[in-house]
């Protein structure tokens, strides 16, 4: 990766000691010039200490420690601000539990050459989900369909968290106005990017449920997403319309 295309991966953590070391090593092992920012919410299991050890061993790794569990959405916002202030061109989000395969990162970078927001999508042709029970698949797929119907967001995977943003997208949408958490955070970010007319594409990924650690999914996060979709739909209605979004599918490898 050239200096003109600096990329920062933002990873929020809470009790991910079983996963974070291997994940960082695998990302750095791609040798693509990624920098990684771990934002740890004072994990009781010592994830923050492991993150510090990784930062000491690798100059590409940074850590932000927060005093308590403040939510994944605010972690990503903190990471985005950090990256923008330091001149990163691309800012990526991914889970800490290997649900998002680091091997897909080169494809995200490739698609970002021609698009402003690249979404790793479970629900385009070639994508899928592994090791989820049927009811969780139903909730996730149904949530994306619901978000599309309510907000008009023309993407198949509205709630997914494996994404790559050009920094100009984040500057344009106004991070201070983002209020959502969980699934709703990703819906709101994508919706605002679309309203600003940025080029959006989806590339297929296989989402594999975690094998170590505990899922952070909760009923509160799910219910928040249902209610927030309506607020997202009507947000910014008083502003002048933006150019239509250009959407498409990235090349599958």
Q: Which residue bears the tokens 């680091």?
A: 102
Q: Are 77 and 178 in contact (CB under 8 A)?
A: yes
Q: Which residue has the higher pLDDT, 166 or 250?
A: 166
The pLDDT tens digits for 31-62 are 999 999 999 999 999 999 999 999 999 999 99
Tokens, residue 211? 């094998």
* pLDDT score of 12 more than 90: yes
pLDDT of residue 230: 63
Closest CA to 79 of 161, 155, 19, 157: 161
Give pLDDT tens digits for 63-101: 999 999 998 999 999 999 999 999 999 999 999 999 999
CATH of residue 200:
3.90.550.10
Neighbours of 67 (CB within 10 A): 7
pLDDT, position 247: 44
CA pair distance 205, 108, nearest whole angstrom: 10
Q: Residue 175: give the domain boundaries.
A: 3-249
Q: What is the pLDDT of residue 224?
A: 61
The tens digit of pLDDT for each residue in 122-132 reads 999 999 999 77
The domain tally of the chain equals 1
pLDDT in tens, 114-173: 999 999 999 999 999 997 776 777 777 777 888 888 888 999 999 999 999 999 999 999
Write out the H or E segment, with its range, that includes residue 118.
strand 117-121
């Amino acid at each position: 990766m050239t200096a003109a295309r600096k990329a920062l991966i933002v990873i929020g953590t809470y009790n991910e000691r079983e996963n974070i070391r291997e994940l960082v090593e695998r990302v750095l092992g791609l040798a693509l010039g990624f920098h990684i920012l771990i934002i740890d919410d004072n994990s009781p299991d010592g994830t923050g200490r492991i993150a510090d050890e990784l930062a000491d061993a690798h100059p590409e790794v940074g850590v932000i420690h927060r005093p308590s569990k403040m939510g994944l959405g605010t972690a990503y916002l903190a990471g985005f601000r950090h990256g923008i202030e330091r001149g990163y061109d691309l800012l990526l989000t991914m889970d800490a539990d290997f649900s998002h395969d680091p091997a897909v990162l080169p494809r995200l970078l490739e698609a970002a050459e021609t698009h402003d927001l690249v979404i790793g999508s479970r629900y385009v042709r070639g994508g899928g989900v592994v090791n989820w029970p049927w009811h969780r698949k139903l909730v996730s797929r149904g949530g994306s369909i619901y978000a599309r119907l309510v907000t008009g967001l023309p993407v198949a995977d509205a709630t997914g968290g494996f994404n790559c943003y050009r920094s100009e997208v984040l500057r344009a949408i106004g991070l201070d106005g983002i209020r959502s958490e969980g699934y709703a955070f990703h819906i709101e970010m994508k919706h605002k990017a679309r309203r600003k007319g940025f080029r959006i594409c989806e590339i297929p990924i296989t989402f594999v449920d975690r094998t170590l650690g505990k899922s952070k999914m909760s009923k509160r996060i799910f219910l928040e997403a249902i209610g927030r979709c309506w607020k997202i739909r009507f947000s910014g209605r008083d502003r002048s319309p933006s150019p239509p979004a250009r959407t498409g599918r990235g090349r599958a490898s």
